[in-house]
A and B are shown apart, each in its own frame.
Chain A
Amino acid sequence: MSPRAACRLELLGFTQVYDYVAGKADWPAHGLPTKGHQAHIPRAKVVLRRDAVTAHPAEPVGQVARRVAGSPYEFALVVTPDSTLLGRLHKAVLAGDPAARAEQVLEAGPSTVRADRPLAELAERLGSRGQHTAVVTSPDGRVLGVVRRADMEARLTGQH
């Protein structure tokens, strides 16, 4: 639809026409605000936390584990310098060989959610799977943060 509209605008005489290739859904998926009747629905971005430990792929696990010990979570996210998510280091791995590099022991391809995911739906999904947190990424795979089920449930019941 979008490229077709852009071409038609050019045919009408507009000289500077651009197609937002990723489309409308890309904007809120990056945690950016929207307008309209559905814009008020609470979404993952309203409880987004940026306090999860991140690690460089070549970083020794022991070094990461020390940071995780001082964080609210039991895992670390392994990311590239531009914040692209490569994987996750779980509690058991963090307690393992401290000399291992993060990239050697990470869990590749952890499931992620988008920042515009409705809270109620996401809380239910996490609850049904017995999960307490979810990693939030942008459509291009960059880590935006983490959401906690407890935060979602509190928000949905009006506790904060």
Chain B
Amino acid sequence: MPGRVDLEGLRALLARGAQLVEVLPVAEYTDEHLPGAINLPLRNWTPPPPARLGWTGRARWSSTAGTACET
């Protein structure tokens, strides 16, 4: 199950190097997004998974940083 974070939790994750991901459509992202967020529109996700998140094709992502998702 994915973890759930509030604003304080999110800021703590970002301070530890987490990558913020916005999954809304491109237009909403370009209008306004959080600093440092990358845009991976959920509806566009088709295999292979988004390379921008560092997925290497192995079973697990090995980074120690968390990935925070925003709506």
Contact = CB atoms under 8 A, between A and B. Distances in A.
Asked if A and B are interacting partners, one says yes
- Helix, strand, loop or mixed for chain A's interface? mixed
A20 B10 contact: yes
A22 B34 CA distance: 13
Interface in A5-47: 5-10, 12-24, 26-28, 30, 32-39
Given A34-B35, A36-B29, A37-B30, A9 B24 contact: no
Interface residues of A, number: 35
A36 B31 contact: yes
A30 B6 CA distance: 12
Interface string A120-148: 00000000000000000000000000000
Interface in B16-51: 18, 21-24, 29-35, 37, 42, 45, 49
Contact of B69 (A2, A28, A35): A2
Nearest to A40: B32
A1 interface: yes
A8 B50 CA distance: 11
A110 interface: no
B18 to A, nearest CB: 8
Contacts of B61: 13-16
25 contacts: A1-B23, A3-B2, A6-B69, A13-B58, A13-B60, A16-B3, A16-B64, A16-B66, A17-B3, A17-B67, A18-B2, A18-B13, A18-B18, A19-B2, A22-B7, A24-B22, A24-B33, A27-B70, A28-B32, A30-B7, A34-B35, A35-B32, A35-B35, A36-B31, A39-B32
- Ranked nearest first, the 7 interchain pairs of A and B with the lowest CB-CB distance are A6-B2, A2-B71, A23-B71, A16-B66, A36-B32, A5-B23, A12-B49
